[in-house]
Structure formats: C-alpha cells, structure tokens
Amino acid sequence: MVLPALVLFVVFGVVPLVGVLVLSFTSWDGLGAIHAAGLSNWRSVLTDPQLPHSILVTFEIMILSWVVQTPLSLLLGTFLAGRQRYRAFLAVLYFIPLLLSSAAIAITFKALLDPNFGLGPGLKLSFLTQDWLGRGDLALAVVIFIVSWQFIPFHSLIYQGGVRQIPTTMYEAASIDGAGRIRQFFSITVPQLKYTIITSSTLMVVGSLTFFDLIFVLTAGGPGDATSVLALDMYQRGFMSNRMGPASVIAALIVLLGLALALLLRRLGGSTTASQQEGA
Amino acid sequence: MTTSRRTFLGLVGGGALAAGLAACGSSGPTTTPGSTTGAGGASGSGATYWFLTGQPQQTIREAQVKRFNDANPDTKIKTTMFQNDAFKQKIKTAIGAGQGPTLIWGWGGGGLKAYVEAGQVEDLTDWFNQQTELKDSIFPSAFTAATVNGKLYAVPGETVTPIVLFYDKRAFDKIGAEPPQSWGDILDLVPKFNEKGIAPFSLGGQSRWTSMMWLEFLFDRIGGSEVFQNIFDGKKDAWSDPSALKALEEMQKLIKANGFVKGFSSITADSNADQALLFTGKAAMMLHGAWTYGNMKASGGDFVTGGHMGYMNFPPVDGGKGDPSATVGNPGQYMSISSKASDADKETAKKFIANNTLDDATVEAWVKSGNIPVVKSAKDKLSSITDKNDAAWLNFIYDTAANAKNFAQSWDQALSPTQAETLLDNIAKLFQLSISPQQFASNMNAVIGQ
C-alpha cells in the first residue's frame, strides 16, 4: 500500500524539487539551451533589494492573517460545535466562501471595491468609496481581509471537529464547580484544542507562503509592489521575465521557509504525539 | 473583453482577467475536427497552426484556413485555438520543448527575438523577398518588429492598431474648451476638468502597459524616435538620455497635478473599466489603443453612435524634437514558421502565408469588422463602409498608420521579456510616485540589453 503513494510522491514531489534546485544553478530563458550559472543566481537574488521586501510582505500577510483568522475561527468553531439544528444550517452558510475559487473571489471583490463603479459609489456610501486597491496599506489590508474571509470557514470546521472531541464530562464537572461559559472556554476548550490550534496554524502559515492566485488577480502585486509576495515574485521572474534560474532560487527559498516554519510550529507544540484526551 | 493582443499582453492584468475567466469557464484548447493529435500539436504529421479565440478575429482566421484547405486538400492545415493566457503559456512551453506548431502566431519584437536566439524559427528573408507582390502591399512600418539582426523571421499580418488620444466632446463642451493641441494644453486642461468634477484622464493603471503608452508618446514627442531606438539597441545608459528624463519628469508632473482619475492604480484595462470611465462621462480623455473602439461602440450607449467620441493623434510637446505624425502601438501581428517542422510542412505554411493571410477576402473581412489590416489596399475597401462613424474612424486609423513617420512597436513587446517586466514594474512605481525619474532611469539602465 505504501508503494503507489511513494511513487507518486517521488514523481510529483521529489523530482520537481530536485529539478528546481538544479535550475537554480543555471541560466535558462525557458526556450533555448540551459547553461550552468554556478552561484550567480543565488548571489543576485539574495542581494536583490526586492527580496527582503517580498519576504516582508509575505510575513506581514502570514502573521496578520493568522492573527485575524485564529480567534475568529476558534470562536466560530466552538459556537458551531453545539448540537442545535440551526447551527448545522449556519455551518453550511459559513462554509460557502471556501467553495469558491480564489480567482472568482478576487474578481468579485475587485468589482465590489472599484472606486468608480463598485459598491461604495453604487450605494453612495463614502466610507466604502476608498481607493481600496490603489493605496499600498489599504491593499494589504484588503488582501488580509479576503484571505480571512475565504479561509475562516475551513479553520472553523477544523475547530468544530476539535471541540466535539472534547469529552462533555469535563464541561459537566466544570459546571458543577461553578465555572461559567467564558471560564469553561478558556480553561477547557482552548487548552484541549492545543493540537488543533497547532494543526490549523501550520496550515495557515505554510499555506500563506503559497498565496498567489488571489493576489495575482486582485492586485497583481500592486500598487507598486505593496502586495508583492514571494510566490508572485517567483512567477514574475520566471514566467514574465523569462528568467527561470532566479525564479528557481525563490522557489527553493519558499520550500526552505515552509519547512522551517512547519518544524518551528511543531517544536512550539511540544514534540509529544501522545493524545491530549483527558488524563492522557 | 475584446481580443486585441493588448488584453492578452496586458501582462499581469491581462493574465489576471484571463486567469479569472479560465477559472470561470472553459479555457481548454478547441481543436478542429479531423485533428488527430488534439492539443498536442505534433510536428511532422501535417502543418499545424495555433491561434487565439475571440471575435471577430477567430472567424477571420478560420475562414483563411478553410479557404486554404479547400484549395489544397492534400496538405491541409490543422488548427488549434486557445484563449489568451492559455496560448501564451502553451506556445512558449511547446516551442521550448520542440513541440510547437508549424505556424507560430505572435506579436514580433522581443518575443520573436527570443525564439530566434533559441533557433526555433525559420529565416524567411530569402523566401519573402521573392514574394514581391505581398511584400509591396504591406505597410513598411510593420517589418521592424519582424526583423531580427537584419533578417526577416516573421511575416506581418492582421491589423494595425496605433495608440490614440480619445476624448469625450460633451466633457469639453461642459468646460468650454477645445481639445488639446500640445502638451502644454493638456496640463492647462487638468485643473479645469478637476474643478467640474470630471477626471481629466482615465487610466487602467494596474495593467501597467496602459501607463507605458504615455511614456512611449512623451519619449517620442520630446526626444524623437532615436531615444527609444537607443534603448532598443542596448546602448549603455540610454534611459538617462536628457530627453528621457525630461519625459519622465513631465509624466510625474501630470500625475501630481491629479491628471488621472482617482484610484487609477487599481483599475485594470481588461475589465474595460477605463473605457467605461470615458464613455460614462466620469473622465474627459483617455490614451488607449485603437482596439478599444469596438467595445466603446458596443458598450458605450450612444457615445460612439451619437458622435460624442473624439479622437486624435497624441499632440506635440512644445520644443520637442519628435515628429508629430509618429505613432506607437501595434504595427501588426506576425506569423513565423517553426524551424523544427518538416520541409513539407514548411512549404505548406509558406503557401498559406503567401496566399491566404492578406488576400482580398481577408482584407475585406478585417475592414468590415472595423479594423485596418496591415496592407495599403485597405484604403480601397473603406468606401464600402456605410456607417459614417465607422468610416471616419477607419479613415483616421488608416491615415495615422500609413502616414506615420515612425510607427514604434509598444515597448513591452519590442523589448526582451526580461527588460519588459522590469519596465512595467518600474512604470507602476513611477506612476505611484514612489521612485523618481532618476531612479527609474538607473533601474532600467541596469537591465539594458538583457
């Protein structure tokens, strides 16, 4: 049973990864012959002032979207873990954004936020009539908002599952001891969800390294390069500028960053893989 | 969405919309019945031809192939059609892998140069010199973008689309002014329109090439055509030419004076929002390609049909060295032949180019669709246009293209992909006022000749 998975992983995971590493030491325009370039691509990318900027923007989006998404998903997930029927209905409603493709979401928001033909001018609401995507700080905030809007449903689903795993006896005992709902949330739900939080955070953090489609369609990295994340930088170097070498360097950097972050989060969560169920 | 090469080439912006469309609907290639290889485009099993979907271009291209196949039943051409972004990615990858079509449809310039340097396209110089009739019929300005190192690698075809200054006559009536005759007039008009709550210029700045069109004209009007020619030729520090710096300064002067619509840097050209600003009266003028005419006529209510749309060539800059008849934009589309194709397929492709791409039926079809094909004989067909707005427009475009002292190809196509991307990136920053003209010049000098 392991072999097919292993073959797939090697063909679609390891081989491209090695390919990218090899390409990062070559110069290639995607058309002609591939020439060895030694360390020059690495040197030029690592000294390019664009790179720290892209990394900064990537981390800004990563951290801010984590900060926005985690509490909201946690609260929403806890709320939805109740058993009333209306909550099942709400859960379905909340889940809808995740079913839409990022490109469709980006196009829709772009139309809604248009300073001349969008929602604000349409409803004559001046506070909505901002140059949302034309000002760097606003554009970054819009990206974070849309990312959160899109992915909170997914993470609240994870939390919903996590909360339902918590034995009801713990809440019953707490009630008997006189703990209110808020106290129960912070003393039972959150600690019990520790591993769920780590899983969800890992997905958010590592996933945000590869944000591309949404930003590509929404702002194309702009205005200027205010929302130019690493993945977009890679695309622009590789497929727009026809410089596959430097693009491969960035791809390799993204892999390294992703690995480092995933390991870091694992470390933060403690290295034990034992169950967090009561008493264990 | 119109299918000019602009929407296609609007790099990020264009890709963005196309990516969106691809996500919404079918973006896969459409293959004609009878093709055995599907989208694979094999070489050696008959000549193949890939081109773009979208009307009216698609119908005209299909008719060309049909006429050819009917006349040559033994050497039929198989066609595969792609949506814009699918085509751009697919053809580059396919050519890189030696799996390209026999007939390579493209935009010439820097992209063609990359194919030439990779040895992927056939040198057509000798063959084309024998096609005297075809050669003499094409606008001479169209050949620059097809020529690499003095050799011809592509044959011009399809349409000429210069960049034009569009304006709304109603907006000028409101402020009681005349259309600008010089750059100075433009700067003078800006506060007058702003006072009346009309944006002086519409601009889809997120698409970046839209902003580039302004620089193309300012460079030309201030310094003449040799300023960009030096850049194109890879002359060291060519972007720091005093005329270039002057043009960049004038550009930022117009931006600082609020010459462009509020929020221009988040507007894309691909959604045609910039055209909508003009024809809904929110903006007074717009610098844009001739390819926008069709959409403005179709979507703009009575803007075109009611005679409210005005248009002119970009005005001169006082004291500038440039020839005011010169224009920029798209001097044609181009067909190359893959060097990897079999000799028989190459012959088929040459026959197709010689007999079917700019034949009488094609020229007539282009004119009827509201376009000027890249041949002199287009003029003869103009008298058959009955709509007076269309007739006036087509005559204007014909005269602009035919009389242009110099018809420069859009920079993002003329330059190599590496330079083009750096250019678009820096133009976005220049228009954001986040870099100075000097920084712009030094950033661009750093990639010159690459």
pLDDT tens figures, B41-86: 444 468 999 988 877 888 999 999 999 999 999 899 999 998 876 7
The answer to whether the complex's ipTM is over 0.85 is no
Arithmetic mean of pLDDT, B151-177:
94
Specify the DSSP class assigned to residue A118.
S
Which among A103, A117, A222 has CB closest to B428?
Answer: A222
CA distance B288 to chain A (A): 19
What kind and span of H or E run contains A108? helix A102-113
Residue of B nearest to A232 (CA): B12
Q: Give yes or no for A138 touching B (CB within 8 A).
A: no
Give A2: exposed, middle or buried? Use CB within 10 Å, 0-12, 13-18, 19+: exposed
**Residues B309/B285, Cβ–Cβ less than 8 Å:** no
Per-residue pLDDT reduced to its tens digit, B269-303: 877 889 999 999 999 999 999 988 988 988 899 99
Per DSSP, the three-state class of A26 is strand
CA distance A7 to chain B (A): 25
Q: Which residues face B373 on adjacent strands?
A: B159
Taking all residues of chain A, what is their mean pLDDT, rounded to a whole number?
89
Per-residue pLDDT reduced to its tens digit, B224-264: 999 999 999 899 999 999 999 999 999 999 999 999 998 89
Instruction: Give the span between the Cα atoms of B349 and B99, in whole angstroms.
Output: 16
Whether the per-residue pLDDT at B27 is higher than 50: the answer is: no
Cα B173 to the chain's mean position, in Å?
Answer: 31
Report the candidate in B413, B216, B180 with the shortest Cα–Cα distance to residue B315. B180
Residue B4 pLDDT level (bands cut at 50, 70, 90):
very low
Q: Give yes or no for B235 touching A (CB within 8 A).
A: no
Name every chain B residue with its beta carbon within 8 A of the beta carbon of A115: 262-263, 266
Q: What percent of chain B has pLDDT over 90?
A: 63
Q: Which of B255, B266, B416 to mutate to test the interface with A (most CBs of A within 10 A)?
A: B266
pLDDT at B184: 95
Q: Give yes or no for A99 touching B (CB within 8 A).
A: no
Q: Give yes or no for B73 touching A (CB within 8 A).
A: no
Cα A84 to the chain's mean position, in Å?
Answer: 31
The answer to whether the CB atoms of A31 and B114 lie below 8 A apart is yes
The answer to whether the CB atoms of B271 and A213 lie below 8 A apart is no
The answer to whether the CB atoms of A116 and B418 lie below 8 A apart is no
The answer to whether the CB atoms of B417 and A29 lie below 8 A apart is yes
Return the higher-pLDDT residue of A274 and B91. B91
Arithmetic mean of pLDDT, A233-247:
90
Per-window interface: A 9-28 vs B, CB < 8 A:
none
Residue A271 pLDDT level (bands cut at 50, 70, 90):
low
Whether the per-residue pLDDT at B209 is higher than 70: the answer is: yes
Name every chain A residue with its beta carbon within 8 A of the beta carbon of B23: 101-104
Which among B19, B93, B115 has CB closest to A103?
Answer: B19
The answer to whether the CB atoms of A242 and B417 lie below 8 A apart is yes
Return the higher-pLDDT residue of B199 and B5. B199
The answer to whether the CB atoms of A213 and B266 lie below 8 A apart is no
Instruction: Give the span between the Cα atoms of A127 and A134, in whole angstroms.
Output: 15
- Read off the pTM: 0.84
Residue tagged 């596959």 (tokens): A244
Phi, psi of A115 (to 5 degrees): -70, -15
Q: Give yes or no for B438 touching A (CB within 8 A).
A: no
pLDDT at B39: 39
The answer to whether the CB atoms of B19 and A216 lie below 8 A apart is yes
Which among B20, B262, B428 has CB closest to A103?
Answer: B20
Taking all residues of chain B, what is their mean pLDDT, rounded to a whole number?
86
| 3-state secondary structure labels for all residues of chain B | CCCCHHHHHCHHHHHHHHHHHHHHCCCCCEECCCCCCHHHCCCCCCCEEEEECCCCHHHHHHHHHHHHHHHCCCCCCEEEEECHHHHHHHHHHHHHCCCCCCEEEECCHHHHHHHHHCCCECCCHHHHHHCHHHHHHECHHHCHHHEECCEECCEEECEEEEEEEEEEHHHHHHHCCCCCCCHHHHHHHHHHHHHCCCEEEECCHHHCHHHHHHHHHHHHHHHCHHHHHHHHCCCCCHHHCHHHHHHHHHHHHHHHCCCECCCHHHCCCCCCHHHHHHHCCCEEEEEEEHHHHHHHHHHCCCCCCCCCEEEECCCCCCCCCCCCCCEEEECCEEEEEECCCCHHHHHHHHHHHHHHCCCHHHHHHHHHCCCEECECCHHHHHHHCCCHHHHHHHHHHHHHHHHCCCEEECHHHHCCHHHHHHHHHHHHHHHCCCCCHHHHHHHHHCCCCC
CA distance A108 to chain B (A): 10
A119: which 2 tokens?
A: 């929602």
B2: which 2 tokens?
A: 């119109």
**Residues B230/B238, Cβ–Cβ less than 8 Å:** yes
B85: which 2 tokens?
A: 């972004």
Instruction: Give the span between the Cα atoms of A260 and A94, in whole angstroms.
Output: 32
Instruction: Give the span between the Cα atoms of B101 and A126, in whole angstroms.
Output: 53
Report the candidate in A143, A150, A107 with the shortest Cα–Cα distance to residue A227. A143
Residue A273 pLDDT level (bands cut at 50, 70, 90):
low
Name every chain B residue with its beta carbon within 8 A of the beta carbon of A216: 12, 15-16, 19
Looking only at the bridges linking them, the beta strands covering B327-330 and A26-27 are: unpaired
Name every chain B residue with its beta carbon within 8 A of the beta carbon of A104: 20, 23-24
Q: Give yes or no for B89 touching A (CB within 8 A).
A: yes
Return the higher-pLDDT residue of A11 and B3. A11
Q: Give yes or no for A264 touching B (CB within 8 A).
A: no
Arithmetic mean of pLDDT, A223-227:
87
CA distance A6 to chain B (A): 28
**Inter-chain contacts counted by CB atoms under 8 A, chains A and B:** 128
Whether the per-residue pLDDT at A227 is higher than 60: the answer is: yes
